[in-house]
Chain A
Amino acid sequence: MREPISIWFFSGVLFLIYGVIITAQGIWELSHPPAHPTVLFSLHASIWWGGLMAIGGLIYTIHFRPHRKQ
């Protein structure tokens, strides 16, 4: 039997998925720059912001994953 899933686990999963999607989009844009880039596009915010979300999400997902009850 497993213990209840924590809200922090749900948050971690959501942000891990979002982080992966946004980082992948940012990397794709390196080779396919948009026709109308956003202001400060050169900073590639998608890559580092998405990356930070993915790392944070991964840490929370692992740390708060539901364990088996003793």
Chain B
Amino acid sequence: MIHPTTLLAAFDGSPVKAQLVHLNAVDIAVIAIYFAIVIYIGFYLKGSTNTSEEFFMAGREMTAWIAGLSFVSANLGSLELMGWAGSAYQYGILATHWYWIGAIPAMLFLGIVMMPFYYISRTHSVPGYLNLRFGEGTRGLSAICFAFMTVLMSGINMYSMAIVMKVVLGWDLNFSIWVSSITVALYVALGGLRSAIFNEVLQFLLIWLGALLIPILGLIECGGWNNLKTQIAHRMGTTDYMHLWSTTAHFRDNPMGIHWTGIVFGLGMVISFGYWTTDFLVVQRVLSANNLRSARMAPIIGAGFKMLVPFIVILPGLLALSVLPFHLVPQDVAVVTGQHSYNEVLPLMLVRYCGPGLLGLGVTALIAGFMSGMAGNVSAFATVWTYDIYGAFLNKKASDSHYVAMGRWCTFIGVLISVGTAYLVQHAASIMDYVQALFSFFIAPLFGTVILGMLWKRATKAGGFWGLLAGTGTAIGLWAWVRHDPGALRYVALSVDAKAMAEDMYRALWSWLVCVIVTIVVSYMTQPRPETELEGLVYGATKIPEEHDDHWYQKPIVWAGVIAATFIVLNIIFW
């Protein structure tokens, strides 16, 4: 959910300075072993991906744990980690909101409320659900937007990886782009979604093992959490860096320039619900679960791990405030002075504590994060293209093996488009801003369409289509308005003190509201579908299968309650 451009800006165009990390033979061996394993997994899984259900949906055989880890891992890319560690250095513990309120409630809502409808409808994708609920127009609109934005995002991810590898390791851009793209194309084309999921689970474990030493050793160096708080307060001259909510009563009281209403309603209710419940990249992982209970448990397990991620992302940023002997600076200053920028905080902390071997492990975790991000994008692209564009509009009656072949070719073509995008972005960085923005335009209104479709029987085909179109149009309009006249931000975010982060939150909120209002108004003006046609698609018209758990502690609702309670307690502790 972070804009990679925010981080990339820290690397792209930087003055020439020594690479941050020097690898030795042991580190290179650690990286090489990772590549060997992932390619082997691709070849190994090829034998079990013969049907479209196996290739695109991993045979719907994943356990709750595998689907859950893959679900959370699809969002745990290296740019996220490095970007948010930098944000923690810059803004303090406020950055944690993107991991807690910006994820946990939405993930629990997906597991408890929405998953039954996705799963019972046996849809292959989110556009597929929209087709069942609102018809082909809405499906086409969402599928085309999603497919092209996803493959472009993959290219941006690829370019981001190449830039970071160049700055951190001194690797050549072309080498990084081609090695990563060939590897990803091989293992996704061979093993399909199952291969992507396996690698996401590996990546998740690698990130934890590679990054967990930083907070452990950092806290030892600082002398514990209380000493860390004291040292940061002393160094920064304020205690604002260590509070989640108490500084958000006004835009100017906190370094992010955000207000609690934006965090709660924009981030917590619209952006995060839009991303975690309707972005097919993450939802596809849960759809691969082996039964409804696993499908409901997967996002809940994911939420539990997501809640822990600040320990390896936010805490290193805070520790850097205390232990680094020099100050990190914003990108524009770093370009002029050659100092390190905020976003280099994670590699800097890695180098500080990790010697040969451990350093290779940390770098492998970063590479794995980038590659699994690309694989996630490419596998989701292949699914949506094959099922929701090619199979829905271009060739409706092909054989199953034809669709599998199309999926494999799509993977290669998707990777090639990504490579092309990576080179395009290299020569015109502004393209990246537009692609990022386009992606965000679509997610918030899509959540409005999907949630009304699932929870409101009266929502009609025309209502869904025009609501989605109007919401997306609103997001584009607001974005263009602020881009043309930066002063317009005061109207969009409702305050003269609002900053860029607040713009994203309020733009999402308004576009979602417009989508919901237009959907409701148009639905009341048009004829609803008979209730019998909504069976399995809408709350109130669907009989949810009863789950027969042997013990109370096996019920998804119990674990969702535990996660929710922990979430509330953590927010109070760090208030």
Residues of A within 8 A of B (CB): 4-5, 7, 10-11, 13-15, 17-18, 21-22, 25-26, 29, 34, 37-41, 43, 45-46, 49-50, 53
* A39-B202 contact given A21-B29, A21-B30, A45-B213, CB 8 Å threshold: no
- Interface stretch, picked from B300-308, B352-360, B459-467, B481-489, is B352-360
Q: State the CA gap A44–B311 with chains docked (Å).
A: 22
A11 touches B201 (CB 8 A): yes
Beyond the given A37-B355, A50-B357, could you list 9 further A-B residue pairs with CB under 8 A, ordered by the A residue number?
A10-B198, A13-B37, A14-B33, A14-B34, A14-B202, A38-B353, A38-B354, A39-B221, A45-B354
Most A CB contacts (10 A, CB to CB) among B351, B352, B361 go to: B361
In the complex, whether B425 has a CB less than 8 A from a CB of chain A is: no
B residues 21-53 in Cβ contact with A at 8 Å: 26, 29-30, 33-34, 37, 41, 44, 48
Q: Whose C-beta in chain B lies nearest to the C-beta of A19?
A: B209
In the complex, whether B205 has a CB less than 8 A from a CB of chain A is: yes
Q: State the CA gap A38–B358 with chains docked (Å).
A: 11
A14 CB to nearest chain B CB (Å): 5
Q: State the CA gap A39–B358 with chains docked (Å).
A: 13
* A7-B201 contact given A39-B353, A43-B217, CB 8 Å threshold: yes
* A14-B37 contact given A7-B202, A45-B213, A50-B357, CB 8 Å threshold: yes
- List A contacts of B26 (CB < 8 A): 21-22, 25
Q: Whose C-beta in chain A lies nearest to the C-beta of B354?
A: A38
- List B contacts of A7 (CB < 8 A): 66, 197-198, 201-202
B355 CB to nearest chain A CB (Å): 5
Q: Whose C-beta in chain B lies nearest to the C-beta of A34?
A: B355
- List A contacts of B220 (CB < 8 A): 40, 43
A17 touches B217 (CB 8 A): no
- List A contacts of B361 (CB < 8 A): 18, 22
Q: State the CA gap A43–B355 with chains docked (Å).
A: 12
Q: State the CA gap A40–B221 with chains docked (Å).
A: 8
Q: Which 7 A-B pairs have the closest CB atoms?
A: A25-B357, A22-B357, A7-B198, A38-B355, A39-B352, A25-B26, A40-B217
Q: State the CA gap A13–B36 with chains docked (Å).
A: 12
Q: Whose C-beta in chain A lies nearest to the C-beta of B205?
A: A11
B48 touches A17 (CB 8 A): no
B319 CB to nearest chain A CB (Å): 11
Partner of B353, one of A10, A29, A34, A45: A45
A24 CB to nearest chain B CB (Å): 8
Q: State the CA gap A41–B201 with chains docked (Å).
A: 30
Interface residues as binary, B210-234 with A (CB distance below 8 Å gives 1, 0 otherwise): 0001000100110000000000000
* A18-B30 contact given A7-B198, A49-B213, CB 8 Å threshold: yes
- List B contacts of A45 (CB < 8 A): 213, 217, 353-355, 358
- List A contacts of B30 (CB < 8 A): 18, 21-22
B209 touches A15 (CB 8 A): yes
B355 touches A53 (CB 8 A): no
- List B contacts of A21 (CB < 8 A): 26, 29-30, 357
